[in-house]
């Protein structure tokens, strides 16, 4: 992250849900839209960097055979591990973007509410790492708040502008509202799930 780790430590100090992911209707509805936007019933391997306290992670875990989550903040990592307890196919690691990007390949990478915490140079590196980490039919989903956030080097519009400019992938879905933007890109021009079930 381009922001100092203390920024996130301060957010989690005395609050295990600093963005009110669990309680705000806006957040619950947005998660539902994210999940409904995934064209496949099941993905083999999913990576979710900046997983926070794991509220989206637990939904992703139901749609994949293997889930790797990552967050910079140790409190967030502990909370996400608690949220995913009992899901043996889900792992949560502590790591900083872009330096600690995993060396594995994925069928889906979910970049949700993370881009604006990175400056454009670091965000471009994340974009490049994402593309290099996708399998031949892999996909990337990005979802971001559109308004400026105090102290952040980018806003959601700038984050998605860089994605649109630098992703050599097929844009399959775009959902835009006044407050957030959700987009899905694929390595293939279409995704048809005829009979794909999670184990």
CATH number at residue 115: 3.40.50.150
pLDDT in tens, 45-103: 999 999 999 999 999 999 999 999 999 999 999 999 999 999 999 999 999 999 999 99
What are the angstrom distances between the C-alpha of 105 and each of 34, 136, 143? 21, 10, 21
Q: Specify the higher pLDDT residue, 9 or 22.
A: 22
Total domain count, the chain: 1
Residue 47, domain extent: 5-186
pLDDT in tens, 104-139: 999 999 999 999 999 999 999 999 999 999 999 999
Question: Hey, what are 29's tokens?
Answer: 């509805």
Range list of H helices, the chain = 5-12, 25-37, 55-61, 74-83, 120-133, 156-166
19 domain-assigned: yes
């Amino acid at each position: 992250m381009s922001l100092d780790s203390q920024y996130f430590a301060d957010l989690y100090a005395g609050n295990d849900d600093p963005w009110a992911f669990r309680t705000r209707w806006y957040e619950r509805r947005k998660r539902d839209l994210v999940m409904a936007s995934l064209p496949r019933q099941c993905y083999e391997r999913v990576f979710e960097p900046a997983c926070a306290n794991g509220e989206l992670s637990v939904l992703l875990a139901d749609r994949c055979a293997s889930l790797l989550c990552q967050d910079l903040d140790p409190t967030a990592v502990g909370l996400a591990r608690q949220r995913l307890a009992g899901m043996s196919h889900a792992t949560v690691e502590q790591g900083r973007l872009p330096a600690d990007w995993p060396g594995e390949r994925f069928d889906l990478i979910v970049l949700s509410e993370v881009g604006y915490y990175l400056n454009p140079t670091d965000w471009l590196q994340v974009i490049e790492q994402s593309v290099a980490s996708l399998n031949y039919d892999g996909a990337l989903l990005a979802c971001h708040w559109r308004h400026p956030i105090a102290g952040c080097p980018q806003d959601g519009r700038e984050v998605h502008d860089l994605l649109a400019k630098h992703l050599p992938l097929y844009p399959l879905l775009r959902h835009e509202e006044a407050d957030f933007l959700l987009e899905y890109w694929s390595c293939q021009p279409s995704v048809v799930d005829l009979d794909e079930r999670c184990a």
